[in-house]
């Protein structure tokens, strides 16, 4: 407890010494005029980067010149967001994915240099996912459930004929993940629980399937990459430890060796095309740390430094002379840069922050920890308004991430900054069950959802109170997806804890949600039931007990609900019934439905409308302001 006491003392000291100042208040339109741009597949000649951007109001594809000389808009969809996959290896065609109104039934499309778009996976109702280019660059791999809606088969598509060929028929609930460098092997995983799975190696030449993750106890496995000659499989696992690390498996002998390990989760690792570099991504206390290793020397390549920001992702050109960097911070949206390994030249390609917004008016997130009801240390990220002080106390919002098993991370959020800019302290809680803090912490909410994890959120109020600048009569709770469930659980099961709640497409009836899991989640269904409960067994008793819909009579505080009509995960009926039930209590309820969105809002006009209404709701019911 000494460590926790020190953290709280430092926070209290900061509150005492903090001098408040007024800042320019920006509109929701100004915040959502910030650019969201990501990705970065190099063209065949390394002159351009294929990226996704919402500059037009929804996501479309752009080509950025790597020398910073300009950009070209490649798609102009008006209704459906399009997400970049990759340029073709040796010509100017490119791939992108898109669904219909947020229904998550993604297809893979090709666009040629003349602008003609072809649906390469035109199977109605089927989900298709890109699986990478073959190393010989003559084809690409993808997974699709077009044969059986429950399972994903593995396909290869020749880039000349564009004819798909099934190379693995999946009838047993495997997840095809990675084809080897030579194309001889396929690595598959099979979920058991959300914290335990198995990994297999299929040899296409012999047809033999080898179980390569035999272990005792819970452990997770995920293939990362193969060596150039397929002698070694690199994979991620947490076997025998708390955190995920990078390991290797020699195909001839079965020998395993730890390659890279730290006190945080390794999120991914891969080699550049000719194996000159190895990239390792680490989830270090809610932010991404990237390491680029020179394979020949084994030494770490020195990357450019960004004042006040961090590199969040990279991609290396096939010629291995250029690297695309994405870098940002909690006060600046991610921007894209290119860096030349030879001449060390760094070129900025995007400026994502709306020029009307001054970065000094925004607030950097601060990682803190506080003790929960049982003494468990709970990580969180604190955003303190510049206006706040002990003499000028402000309302506060708990921000609860999705999942279960997600994580609030240091990075830019238009909505968090919008709230903070308008005088709300925000505490993004990583309650027990969140990823990134070891598998013990991750598993602590299993079959305890809406109970111990909810108390973690309630106990966050003790931390807020000790800050000294929060008006404790004006603390609300906000969350999306599983976070939205936590909002409704708080209002139903801890009805006096929070003054208001904002539920964004949150689960309210676990019995229905777990029975209506999309067909293509079949391989993970049993794992979800192991963690959350099986609605077809006696677990249904507990699932009923923790479902806010069946306890709506307890809700007495104002609530706002946002929902996408096409959401395949949390059906609209969930929110419809919850809203109707709470309204029967005579409680103020505001309900916003978007007919062209799914599980997450992608269109700027909808974000501006919905999120702008959230602030109006909070100002009225939390700050007590007269909306007129």
Res 626: pLDDT: 78
Task: Write the CB contacts of 607 (distance below 8 Å, at least 6 apart in sequence).
Answer: 32, 414, 601
Mean per-residue pLDDT for 339-363?
97
Res 308: pLDDT: 81
CA nearest 488: which of 508, 510, 511, 512? 508
- Cis peptide bond N-terminal to 509, omega within 30: no
CA nearest 416: which of 318, 325, 333? 333
pTM of the model: 0.94
Mean per-residue pLDDT for 74-84?
97
For 381-428, what is each residue's pLDDT tens digit?
Answer: 999 999 999 999 999 999 999 989 999 999 999 999 999 999 999 999
Contact 409, 287 (CB under 8 A): yes
What does pLDDT average to over the chain? 95
Indicate whether 309 pLDDT > 90.
Answer: no
CA distances in angstroms from 287 to 230, 327, 329, listed in the order given: 32, 12, 10
Res 6: pLDDT: 43
Indicate whether 271 pLDDT > 80.
Answer: yes
Residues in the chain: 628
Res 628: pLDDT: 62
What DSSP string runs through 582-604? HHTTT--EEEEEETT-BSB---H
Share of the chain above pLDDT 70, in %: 97
H or E element in which residue 7 lies: helix 2-17
SS (H, E, C) 266-284: EEEEEECCCCCEEEEEEEE
Contact 445, 367 (CB under 8 A): no
For 83-114, what is each residue's pLDDT tens digit?
Answer: 999 999 999 999 999 999 999 999 999 999 99
Tell me where in the chain the CATH 2.40.128.660 domain(s) lie. 263-352
C-alpha 211: how far from chain center: 30
Share of the chain above pLDDT 90, in %: 93
CA distances in angstroms from 200 to 191, 209, 213, 249, 250, listed in the order given: 12, 7, 7, 12, 14
- Residue 625 pLDDT level (bands cut at 50, 70, 90): confident
Mean per-residue pLDDT for 203-225?
96
For 3-53, what is each residue's pLDDT tens digit?
Answer: 444 444 445 444 444 567 889 999 999 999 999 999 999 999 999 999 999
Res 523: pLDDT: 85
Indicate whether 455 pLDDT > 80.
Answer: yes
Q: Does domain 2-18+357-509+547-621 have CATH number 3.40.50.300?
A: no
Mean per-residue pLDDT for 216-241?
96
Q: Where are the beta strands (DSSP E) in 460-537?
A: 470-480, 501-504
Tell me where in the chain the CATH 3.40.50.1820 domain(s) lie. 2-18+357-509+547-621
Res 520: pLDDT: 87
CA dist., res. 403 & res. 429, Å (int): 13
Q: How many CB atoms lie within 10 A of CB 556?
A: 14
For 109-134, what is each residue's pLDDT tens digit?
Answer: 999 999 999 999 999 999 999 999 99
Indicate whether 212 pLDDT > 50.
Answer: yes
For 516-541, what is each residue's pLDDT tens digit?
Answer: 988 888 888 888 999 999 999 999 99
Res 533: pLDDT: 94
Say which CATH topology domain 263-352 has.
Lipocalin (2.40.128)
CA nearest 96: which of 138, 135, 56, 59? 59
CA nearest 234: which of 255, 214, 253, 248? 248
Res 307: pLDDT: 84
What DSSP string runs through 532-562? H--TTSTHHHHHHHT-GGGGGGG--S-EEEE
């Amino acid at each position: 407890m000494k460590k926790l006491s020190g953290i709280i003392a430092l926070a209290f000291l900061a509150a005492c010494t903090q001098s408040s100042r007024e800042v320019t208040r920006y509109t929701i339109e100004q915040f959502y005029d910030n650019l969201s741009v990501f990705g970065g597949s190099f063209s065949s000649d390394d002159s351009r980067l294929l990226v996704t951007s919402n500059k037009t109001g929804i996501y479309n594809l752009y080509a950025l010149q790597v020398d910073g000389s300009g950009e070209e808009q490649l798609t102009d969809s008006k209704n459906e967001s399009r997400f970049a996959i990759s340029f073709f290896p040796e010509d100017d065609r490119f791939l992108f994915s898109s669904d219909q109104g947020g229904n998550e039934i993604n297809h893979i499309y090709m666009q040629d240099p003349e602008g003609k778009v072809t649906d390469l996976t035109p199977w109605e109702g089927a989900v298709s996912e890109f699986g990478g280019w073959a190393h010989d660059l003559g084809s690409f791999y993808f997974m699709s459930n077009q044969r059986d809606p429950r399972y994903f088969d593995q396909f290869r598509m020749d880039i000349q004929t564009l004819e798909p060929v099934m190379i693995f028929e999946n009838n047993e609930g495997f997840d095809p993940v990675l084809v080897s460098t030579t194309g001889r092997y396929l690595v598959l995983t099979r979920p058991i629980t959300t914290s335990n799975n198995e990994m297999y190696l299929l040899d296409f030449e012999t047809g033999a399937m080898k179980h390569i993750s035999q272990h005792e106890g819970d452990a997770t496995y995920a293939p990362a990459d193969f060596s150039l000659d397929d002698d070694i499989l690199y994979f991620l696992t947490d076997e025998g430890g708390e955190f995920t690390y990078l390991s290797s498996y020699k195909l001839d002998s079965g020998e395993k060796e730890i390659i890279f390990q730290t006190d945080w989760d390794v999120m991914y690792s891969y080699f550049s095309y000719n194996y000159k570099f190895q990239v390792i991504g680490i989830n270090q206390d809610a932010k991404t740390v990237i390491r680029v290793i020179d394979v020949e020397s084994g030494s770490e390549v020195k990357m450019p430094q960004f004042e006040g920001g961090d590199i969040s992702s990279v991609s290396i050109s096939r010629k291995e002379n250029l690297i695309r960097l994405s870098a940002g911070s909690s006060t600046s949206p991610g921007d894209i840069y290119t860096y030349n390994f030879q001449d060390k030249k760094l070129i900025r390609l995007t400026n994502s922050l709306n020029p009307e917004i001054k970065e000094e008016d925004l607030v950097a997130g601060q990682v803190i920890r506080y003790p929960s009801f049982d003494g468990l240390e709970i990580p969180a990220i604190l955003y303190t308004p510049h206006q706040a002080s002990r003499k000028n106390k402000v309302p506060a919002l708990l921000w609860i991430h999705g999942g279960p098993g997600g994580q609030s991370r240091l990075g830019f959020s238009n909505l968090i900054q919008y709230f903070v800019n308008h005088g709300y302290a925000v505490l993004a809680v990583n309650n027990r069950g969140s990823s990134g803090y070891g598998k013990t912490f991750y598993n602590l909410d299993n079959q305890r959802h809406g109970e111990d994890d909810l108390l973690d959120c309630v106990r966050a109020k003790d931390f807020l109170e000790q800050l000294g600048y929060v008006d404790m009569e004006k603390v609300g709770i906000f969350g999306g997806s599983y976070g939205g469930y936590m909002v409704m659980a708080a209002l139903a099961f801890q009805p006096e804890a929070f003054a208001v709640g904002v539920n964004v497409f949150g689960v309210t009836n676990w019995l229905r949600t777990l029975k209506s899991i999309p067909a293509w989640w079949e391989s993970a269904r049993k794992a979800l039931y192991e963690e959350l409960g099986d609605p077809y067994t006696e677990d249904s008793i507990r699932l009923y007990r923790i479902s806010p819909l069946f306890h709506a009579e307890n809700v007495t505080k104002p609530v706002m609900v946002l929902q996408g009509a096409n959401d395949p995960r949390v059906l609209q009926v969930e929110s419809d019934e919850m809203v109707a039930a709470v309204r029967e209590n005579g409680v103020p309820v505001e309900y916003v439905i978007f007919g062209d969105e799914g599980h997450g809002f992608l269109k700027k006009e909808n974000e501006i409308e919905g999120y702008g209404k959230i602030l109006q709701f909070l100002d009225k019911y939390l700050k007590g302001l007269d909306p007129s």
